Chains A and B, each alone.
Chain A
Amino acid sequence: MTDWNAMSDAEFRKEVRGFLEAEYPEELRHLPHRPKFAEIEHWHRKLHTKGWVAPAWPAEYGGMGLNAAKLLIFYEEQQRWGVNRGRDMGVQMVGPLIIKFGTQKQKNYWLPRILSCEDIWCQGYSEPGAGSDLANLRTRAEIDGDDFVINGQKIWTTMAHDATHIFMLVRTDPDAPKKQQGISFVLAPMDQPGVEVRTITTLSGETEFCEVFFDNARTPRENLVGELNKGWTMAKALLSFERIFIGSPSLAQNALGQLESFARGRGAFDDPVFRDRFAQAALDVEDHAALYSRFADQLKRGETLGADVSMLKIWVTECFQRITELMIEAAGPDGGTVGPLQVGNVSVDVLASFYKARPTTIYGGSNEIQRNILSKAVLGLPD
């Protein structure tokens, strides 16, 4: 197995770039929508063969085991080339959960299936009454013999209509004194009579998230991850993975690259004001990466991330949004136009980037919630 971390940064970058440029399918570059798995399967197979599906997982579980610096390079190169994230809920969320809290049996069973995308995961946390107040969730899981029986509803479940499994937070003890208690983490198959999925159309006309209804759905008891009724603590640990992932520079870097080629093609850099605003955005991204690698290093050393990781998400998502606003500005009279805009030999879908940037300040814990966390847990401000 290659020890990527032993390579120089330049060597590693060259390796990644070479692979992507040679192997990444042209038609998938800068994909404006979230693909279904079938659309990107041929690319996933290549990644899988190469062993590059999970750059952040330890090598013993089939990951690349990259350290923070290498991970950043990996993401930068992906963004530079417009590589799609793929269906990465499994890699980004379920994998880390199982690696941290799962039994050996669970690791042996689930992790390889995540890497091969035999199982495609969606995240079942939010409910109509449990958004920011996630602990308010009501979906019930009751023990019945060797199974859990699940009843309730999840919402905003991204790509649930193209997933084989859902990892979910459920209420297993409704009588617990606090709502954060009595919540458990379970894995459940989607393909069963008790699970119904309805897509929800977004304001840009895409169907990328869903409602998922559970009516006496079943999952084996062995699909409980961690201890019964201890799901909340685990979910919080997982959220810090999510936050460092959402807080990574990738989306903003990608948008910045698109902004640059688009603005150049449209002649927007002739305007000194625009140049200044572009430079601000570019430095916002670059300086964010410096802060990011501090947290990523912590993670690599095996330390648990503190509440301060929230600052990454706040910074980079708002920066991402400013970049897409600049794209719209550079588009001038085309700023309301749907679909790719041609400039010279590149085409940039300005509105697709804009729409993609909007919910980043809502999901993964809204930026208001992140600010609440920072002000209390980091700054120690009183209630």
Chain B
Amino acid sequence: MQSSEQEEDLRLLRESARTLFDRAGGSGRSRKLRDAGGEFDPDMVRELGEAGVFGVAVPEEQGGLGMGLAAGGVIAEEVGRVIAPEPVVATIGLGLGLLRRLCPEHPKLEQLIGGEASLAVAWQERGPGGASADATCRYADGKLTGGKAWVVGAGGTQDFLVVAEADGGPVLVLAEASADGLVTTRRAQADGSSLGELSFSGTPAAELACGAAVQRALSEAVADATALAAAELVGLSQRAFEITLDYIKTREQFDKPIGSFQVIQHRAVDLNVMCEVAQAAVREVLMRMDGETDASIRARLASRAKARAVTAARKVTRDAIQLHGAVGYTDEFDIGLYLNRALVLSAWLGDDAYHRRIWFDAREEEGAAQ
């Protein structure tokens, strides 16, 4: 359980993050960035860094605020509310999650926290059938060969953190985006962003860490990012619901607001309940992850959060379009932007069906171990 002091800290953090995003232009800013080509705004990244946003979950002794994942979740919800395109969750969860666990002295850590550097993490791979597959990307003699897929923030990044296979087991290496033999292909996403597919042919890269610790840190970082992505979806769903609620109160048909029809009222209530359950579950998960050291339990908690958040976001964003009628299907209304962002966030790091499967398997394993 959280102490009232901690609760107050999180409340203040939420307020300041909300103010920051609103002042920057809210969802209108996100729309402009999308129209301009889909990349995030480096100035905004710097501003977020200065405000301490990236460092919330980094321990104080490593230069962060030491407020834990619970605080990361607060930030992620606010990012979701305004569908901001900056890779906040990827940075907190993956980039910083790996660096702080594996090489806390590396200068990139401080730069990332300060919003002065960008660093996209490349760890997944695409198999021949198109689905995700085991890692085969090799690192030997200071060079990378192979490929990586589904890299968030690949478009605007200066460097890549790459998890690869070396003779002595997995390694974490740093490659410059402009390095020789690195080809980045961008795949356009529904929200206007892109995911990178990287192909390395003898690309020079510097080794940062190696051995079993890399695999452990990666699993932990992925669990963190998964739970934070869930929080981002919670914020997104909540805002999509609010927009819809406003709409059904004002749109009139048959000489009254459509929100006066009982079927619409019940639908709105269902969405509200869905949002509240998701918010409560995801916040609880983040809190518990902060107090939990067992990696498999943390991973199971993260799966619980993502499963719930994706289910809720799907229901809320689809119903939101329906309740808007034809205007919901236009680009002019913001509600479509929320649907498109939800598609992307749901697919990233696994959807609800995937995470329910993981959750169940993990639960069986824990049961067998006891």
Contact = CB atoms under 8 A, between A and B. Distances in A.
Interface stretch (A14-22, A138-146, A284-292, A323-331): A323-331
B326 A362 contact: yes
A372 B264 CA distance: 12
Nearest to A268: B131
A337 B340 CA distance: 10
A325 B132 contact: no
A332 B132 contact: yes
Contacts of B253: 131-133, 136
A337 B321 contact: no
B325 to A, nearest CB: 5
B108 interface: no
Interface centre among B314, B326, B336 (most CB of A within 10 A): B326
B106 interface: no
Contact of B343 (A336, A344, A362): A336
Contact of B340 (A155, A156, A203, A266): A203
A331 B332 contact: no
A41 B343 CA distance: 35
Contacts of A372: 263
B190 interface: yes
Contacts of A131: 253, 325-326
B325 A266 contact: no
Contacts of B187: 334, 337-339
Interface centre among A273, A329, A361 (most CB of B within 10 A): A329
Given A203-B336, A337-B189, A132 B325 contact: yes
Nearest to B345: A336
Interface residues of A, number: 50
A78 interface: no
Interface string B259-298: 0010110000000000000000000000000000000000
Given A133-B253, A156-B326, A337 B195 contact: yes
A345 to B, nearest CB: 12
B168 interface: no
Contact of A333 (B328, B336, B347): B347
B330 A334 contact: no
B325 A328 contact: no
Contacts of A205: 331
Contacts of A23: none
Contacts of A224: none
B150 to A, nearest CB: 5
A9 interface: no
Interface string A254-272: 0000000000011100010
A362 B347 contact: no
A99 interface: no
A359 interface: yes
A215 interface: no
Contacts of A333: 124, 132, 149-150, 347-350
A332 B347 contact: yes
B325 A366 contact: yes
Contacts of B345: 336
Contact of A328 (B328, B329, B337, B343): B343
B248 to A, nearest CB: 12
Contacts of B350: 332-333
B190 A351 contact: yes
B344 interface: yes
A274 B353 CA distance: 9
B131 A332 contact: yes
B351 A335 contact: yes
Interface in B112-156: 124, 129-132, 149-150
A321 B317 CA distance: 13
Contacts of A371: 263
A339 B132 CA distance: 18
Contacts of B351: 328-329, 332, 335
Contacts of A368: 261, 263-264
B322 A335 contact: no
B348 to A, nearest CB: 7
Contacts of B131: 266-267, 332
A336 B190 contact: yes
Nearest to B149: A333
A358 interface: yes
Nearest to A371: B263
Contacts of A126: 326
B318 interface: yes
B130 A334 contact: yes
Interface string B326-370: 101111100011011001111111110110010000000000000
Contacts of A155: 326
A342 B351 CA distance: 20
A239 interface: no
B254 to A, nearest CB: 5
A206 to B, nearest CB: 9
B321 A358 contact: yes
A336 B149 CA distance: 14
Contacts of A329: 351, 353
B179 interface: no
B103 interface: no
B354 A336 contact: no
A273 B357 contact: yes
Contacts of A265: 129-130
Given A202-B330, A336-B340, A337-B347, 15 more contacts: A131-B326, A205-B331, A266-B130, A328-B343, A329-B353, A333-B347, A334-B187, A336-B347, A351-B343, A358-B321, A359-B329, A362-B326, A366-B322, A368-B263, A372-B263
Interface of A: 126, 129, 131-133, 136, 155-156, 200-205, 209, 265-267, 271, 273-274, 321, 325, 328-329, 331-339, 341-344, 351, 354, 358-359, 361-363, 366-368, 371-372
